Structure 1
Amino acid sequence: MTDPGAAPKARRGRPPSTSLNQQLILDTALAIVEREGPDALTLRRLGTDLGTNHTAVLRHFAGKDEILLGLAERLIEHAMDGFVPDAAWRPTLESLARRLRAACLTHPHLAILTATRVSRRSAAFQGADVVIRALRQAGFDERDAARYYRSLVDTALAVSSYEAATAALDSASRDGDRLAWRREYLLAPPDRYPDLAAAAPHLARADEDDQFETTLGLLLDAVEARAAGRLTPRSR
């Protein structure tokens, strides 16, 4: 006979609901997203994977949106882990942008889901502080440092999450898109598209690494030119 006073046992492989905490919920949410994609993440699915009613999750997060913000923070934490700023402002920004890209490519589904969100948490504040300090080190006042911070971070996230979306495609679609640069574009009729035809042999060599580094270089060249007074903003 079952002892009526005994505590109920958790289902095998799942923690009892009393052990729930924010970190466990975020770990489980991240696992769902990485395994099955962003659309699989729902409160009910979280409850199922945690072995509890989904309403128990709401004791730790106000709703799904707060969970998404927590996941956005995870992405930034990945990028910031072990980061040490350089003595010079430009290498600091280059390194941080590359770290952000690496985090997005390591967790492509997470990047797709959260790249446009503002996490409002400590890792995001730390990253913002580093970027703004580097821009002030370059010679900008607080107003311009704030403006360029937004532009740099949003562009780095946009390029990285775009690349993450490519990485998240099924292999046939991804390979087909890459092959197009070496096939369809090379076959573009030069009488109709003369400049494209001239550049077409080089398009396939402009791969994801080259695209990111080129975009990053263009942005930081512009920042450096403005810092030196060689390039004046069109609007203030």
Structure 2
Amino acid sequence: MPDSTPAPARKRRARGHLTPDRIVEVAMGIIERDGSEALTFRRLGTELGADHTAVLRHFRNKDELMLALADRLMAEALSGITVSDDWRATLTELAQRIRLACRAHPHVALAVSGRTGRRESEFVGAEIVIGALLRAGLRGREAASCYRALVEVALSYSAMEATLLTLPPEALAGDREAWGREYLALPPDQYPNIAAVAPHLAEVDKEDQFEIALGLFLDAIELRAQRV
């Protein structure tokens, strides 16, 4: 039976099913399947079943859309977070949540982890981190500096892990085997410092380097707070 709905009403309904959240969701799917270069407004329009100009009503350009993707990634990290009086526990939980969000969406993380999102989720995350640093005893510029450094350490490490997750399995296996193969095979007279620790490199590769790096950073915050 033919649709008796007037044409203008049909067009309004077609446009109405597009929301920023829906566009971001589909954009994330495109990037995870085919990489960030595959994300275009025409591709989005096709996958959304709409004209690409309808997407442009919500996002003026690709950069604006990428910032929205960064916001979505941070929102996922923040979902359900527990903020306690224990500053160290709060920072540890948030850093681990950022890591997990990046691991869940590695291609998206590669595309947006270096951006300053300047949106709600980033502001909420900043409020949590800075609050924890203030509770640790840092103040003013010291707190601001450690906030920037902590976020960038967490995001940088998470982006590196995301890169590894996008590698072919054989390449990743070769990288891991190098610690117990190429490093051990180096001539000690040419690389005496490496030779001094080479037997341990494969062993420590099994440790969680993210937790070690984070622990070192939090220890440094404690030491800095004692000097304030």
Instruction: Please report the TM-score for the alignment, with normalisation by the length of structure 2.
Output: 0.90
Superposed CA RMSD: 2.2
Work out whether residues 69 and 112 of structure 2, in 8 Å CA contact, stay in contact via their aligned partners in 1: yes
Structure 2 residue 30 is matched with structure 1 residue 32 = yes
2:179–2:205 Cα contact (<8 Å) kept? no
Structure 1 gaps of 5+ residues are: none
**2:188 is aligned with 1:190:** yes
Length, aligned pairs only: 225
Q: Equivalent residue of 1:116, what SS?
A: coil
Residue 89 (1) aligns with residue 87 (2) = yes
Matching of residue 55 in structure 1 with residue 46 in structure 2: no
Question: Do 1:17 and 1:51's aligned partners in 2 also have CA atoms closer than 8 Å?
Answer: no
Letter in 1 for 2:209: Q
Name the structure 2 match of 1:122: 120
Deviation at 1:163, TM superposition (A): 1.2
Q: What corresponds to 1:165 in structure 2?
A: 163
Look up the SS of the partner of 1:185 in the other structure. Answer: helix
Letter in 2 for 1:87: D
CA distance in 1, matches of 2:2, 2:72: 43
On the 8 A contact 2:109/2:159 being kept in 1, the answer is yes
d(CA) in 2 for partners of 1:42, 1:96 = 32
The one-letter code matched in structure 1 to 2:23 is: I
1:61: how far off?
A: 0.8
In structure 2, C-alpha distance between the alignment counterparts of 1:117 and 1:204, rounded to whole Å: 34
- After TM superposition, give the deviation of residue 88 of structure 1 in Å: 1.3
Contact 1:17/1:50, CA 8 A, preserved across alignment: no
1:86 Cα deviation (Å)? 2.5
Give the corresponding residue for 1:113: 111
CA shift for structure 1 position 209? 5.2
Counterpart amino acid of residue 157 in structure 2: V
The yes-or-no answer on 1:227 pairing with 2:225 is yes
Q: Aligned AA for 1:166?
A: L
Structure with higher helix content: 2
Q: CA deviation at 1:95?
A: 1.3
Separation (CA, whole Å) in 2 of partners of 1:32 and 1:189: 47
**Amino acid in structure 2 at the alignment position of 1:164:** A
The alignment-based identity, stated in percent, is: 50
- Distance, in Å, in 2 between the alignment partners of 1:142 and 1:195 is 40
How far does residue 2 in structure 1 lie from its aligned partner after superposition?
Answer: 6.2
Cα offset, 1:31, TM superposition: 0.7
With the length of structure 1 as denominator, give the TM-score of the two structures: 0.87
Shift of 1:56: 1.4
d(CA) in 1 for partners of 2:142 and 2:15? 48
Cα deviation 1:125-182 (Å, max 9, x = unaligned): 1110011011111112233211211111011111111111111112222122112122
